[in-house]
Amino acid sequence: MRLLLLLLLTVLAAAARACPPPFNNFRFAGNDTAALIQEAMLENGLGWTEAASHFQNPIQPWPRDSDGIVRIKYCFATPDDRQNFKILIDQAWNVWKTGIKNPGHSRGHRLIFQEFNWNPAVEWKYCYKDLAGGSTPANWNHGANLPTETIVIIGEDVGVFAQSTLGYTLPALNNAAGRHKVNIHPSAGGSGFSVPLLAHELGHVWGLLHEHQRSDRDHYVHFECSNLVGYNQARQLVEQQGQHTMDEVCTSETLGWKYNFAGPPNFSKESRKSTYHGQDYVWHVAEGPFYDVASIMHYASGHGFDASRQEGNVQNHPLTMWKGRWPGFQPPGQVTQDNSEIINLNYRVSNLDVFAVKHLYPW
């Protein structure tokens, strides 16, 4: 079981414990708690991190249907993918639905996640029209009137448990069929860890970023790049090529890929950008004042953990949280058992994750 956990918690690319009370990082106490939360809500400043709401970003929130509901639709790439992942997808969506409930005025959001409603006359109810041509845009199931923006659920070994595209890519920048995807490792589905990790990926589909990549994260958590799996191999390549330092690789949003080191881009605080048709688009990221360790979008200490090290020792994990965390906390120079603790896997969405959906898809 331990080995399975370590496999599933290997670093997510594009990519999540028993849930502690929300706002625990602020050490709220007494009757002031509700007032502080309400004040933050009124100021429209909450605890998520997202890159979909700014009008200049290449990704946006998913559009509304004619009745005002946002129905994010998906299809399965193949019959095997439906058989392997349908239950898992339903369970991951239920993690969110348990928190946000059904859309409506009283719930404050418009979001639904559902399989594409196939015409009963269509015999082949999958993203791609056959298996022979592979999962390419040219092989898209256009004959079933399947919209090109439909999310593809596909089983692929991309080196991680799962990964997904972020938000809704504007058709003016990329209108290719299958441009929105959730890739799931073929071996997924047999573990209790699979559901929260896939729920994390669905958060990316909504447009949410990693909470632990916020600009203020060092007041709350500590990232130790040298504890990531693959660090020593990457260091050898970096030293051989002599173009960069490991400090540069560990803090960069892109350099890790150059050295086959997938971990750092999933922890980097650097600004992000995307390139479409030769033009760079810098992401405008929205961060509220609350850092939310309870978020489904926050990595656990096991993400990217090097299995050759002793598990449970805070000095061996890539990500741990400070016991004294708060907005003005100045982190000590070294992680110890006295000043740090393990971040467990979140199995449900936090209150602030719910507010994030209301922020991106308000009623």
Q: What pLDDT digit, counting tens, does each position of 288-336 carry?
A: 778 999 999 999 999 998 888 888 899 999 999 999 999 989 999 899 9
For residues 108 and 362, what is the distance between their CA atoms, to the nearest angstrom? Answer: 6
Could you tell me the pLDDT band of residue 272, with boundaries at 50, 70 and 90? confident
Chain region(s) in the chain for CATH 3.40.390: 62-206
Question: Which pLDDT value is given to residue 259?
Answer: 95
Task: Decide if pLDDT at 50 tops 90.
Answer: no
Among 333, 293, 318, smallest CA distance to 223 is for 318
Greater confidence, 122 or 14?
A: 122
Cα–Cα distances in angstroms (integers) from residue 57 to residues 127, 167, 276, 307, 309, in the given order: 27, 11, 12, 38, 40
- What average pLDDT does the segment 171-179 reach? 93
CB 13 within 8 A of CB 158: yes
Percent of the chain with pLDDT over 70: 85
Greater confidence, 85 or 129?
A: 85
- What average pLDDT does the segment 247-264 reach? 94
Query: Mind giving me the DSSP string for 253-300?
Result: SSHHHHTT--SGGGT--S--EEEETTEEEE---EE-S---TT-TTSPP
Question: Which pLDDT value is given to residue 133?
Answer: 59
**Largest separation between any pair of C-alpha atoms in the chain:** 65
Among 114, 97, 102, 96, smallest CA distance to 199 is for 96
CATH numeric code, 62-206: 3.40.390
Burial class (CB in 10 A: 0-12, 13-18, 19+), 304: buried
Question: pTM surpassing 0.95?
Answer: no
What number of other Cβ atoms are within 10 A of residue 216's Cβ? Answer: 11
Instruction: Quote the tokens at residue 336.
Output: 């110890």
